[in-house]
Amino acid sequence: MIRVGIGGWVFPPWRGGNFYPPGLPQARELAHASGRLTSIEINATFYGAQKPTSFRRWHSETPDDFVFSVKAPRFATHRKDLGGAKPSIDRFFASGVVELGDKLGPILWQFPQFARFDEQGFADFLALLPPRVEGRTIRHVVEAKHKSFFDEPALELLRRHGAALALIDSEGHPEFPGPTADFVYARLRRSVASEPSGYPPASLDAWAERFRRWAVGNVAEGLPSASRDCFVYFINGAKERAPAAAQALIQRLT
């Protein structure tokens, strides 16, 4: 399974014909986006709790085979005492996120720019992440920016807990060391306004091949491995190009 989408669906520059047709009511934007993409990363949850009714509505407004990933609240990750994040984590899952049902994809735990790897604190945090909630398996992914998270001690902890390290395509970001879980989660941040498809065609071709190899279980040439689901989101950069980039990648993958 390879899912491709964008971060959120409410963005004024997408209106007026860029992605949303002129005059499309804002209440119909999710339905429009989900009909052209295969996933969306919900960002509002990073800033504050949402209501169960919102999750149920988002579920009902999207196609049956659509998948949401959900960004977890910053209150759980933007703190010095990671082992004390349990109340924030519990409140997040109690807010109704599992109302997305079979459309619930990975949960993204985004660490701040300044956060450095602390072995005990990170181990304590990962131990708090529930593998199942209300009978539903939960996949967890960590986005970290500091290079210390890309060394073996941090990677081994992620593997032990079955959590993924996010692949970030961004200037100055540490090189992705390879999958640490049974899925790959990518956030592509280099879209440029001068390119109609956000990324140059050759770059999109290369990304499509890379995700295809992971999906079929061939990460390195000649070295078969387990197949992995892939979740790919075009985030930031020239955000007005994100929907075009996502649709261009979907076309290549199909």
Domains of the chain in start order, with CATH, are 2-253 (3.20.20.410)
Q: Residues of 139-150 as b/e, b for ≥16 C-beta within 10 angstroms?
A: bbbbbbbeeebb
pLDDT of amino acid 225? 67
Give the residue among 147, 81, 157 at the shortest CA–CA distance from 114: 147
Enter the pTM of the model.
0.95
For residue 208, what pLDDT is reported? 97
Confidence label for 237 from pLDDT (cuts 50, 70 and 90): confident
**Who has greater pLDDT, 225 or 109?**
109
Asked whether 191 and 199 are in contact (CB, 8 A), the reply is yes
Give the number of other Cβ atoms within 10 Å of residue 130's Cβ. Answer: 14
Per-residue pLDDT, averaged over 175-195, amounts to 95
- For 86-118, what is each residue's pLDDT tens digit? 999 999 999 999 999 999 999 999 999 889 999
Mean pLDDT of 111-135: 95
Q: Which H helix or E strand runs over 133?
A: strand 132-133
Where helices occur in the chain by DSSP H, the ranges are 29-34, 52-60, 74-77, 86-94, 119-128, 152-161, 201-216, 242-253
Q: What is the mean pLDDT of residues 24-49?
A: 96
pLDDT digits (tens, 9 = 90+) for 53-94: 999 999 999 999 999 999 999 999 999 999 999 999 999 999
Q: What is the pLDDT of residue 220?
A: 55
Whether pLDDT at 219 is above 60: no
Q: How far is CA 253 from CA 89, 208, 230, 249, in A?
A: 35, 6, 12, 6
Are the beta carbons of 79 and 106 closer than 8 angstroms?
no
**CA 199 to CA 12: how far, in whole Å?**
21
Q: How confident is the model at residue 120 (pLDDT cuts 50, 70, 90)?
A: very high
Confidence of residue 218 (pLDDT cuts 50, 70, 90): low
pLDDT band at 136 (very low <50, low <70, confident <90, very high): very high
Looking at the predicted structure, is the pLDDT value of residue 236 above 90?
Answer: no
Closest CA to 167 of 213, 181, 157: 181
Q: Which residues contact 73 (CB under 8 A, 6 or more apart)?
A: 45, 46, 47, 48, 49, 88, 91, 92
pLDDT at 157 over 70: yes
Q: Over the chain, what is the mean pLDDT?
A: 94
Identify the weakest region by mean pLDDT among 112-116, 153-157, 194-198. 112-116
**Chain centre distance of CA 145:** 15
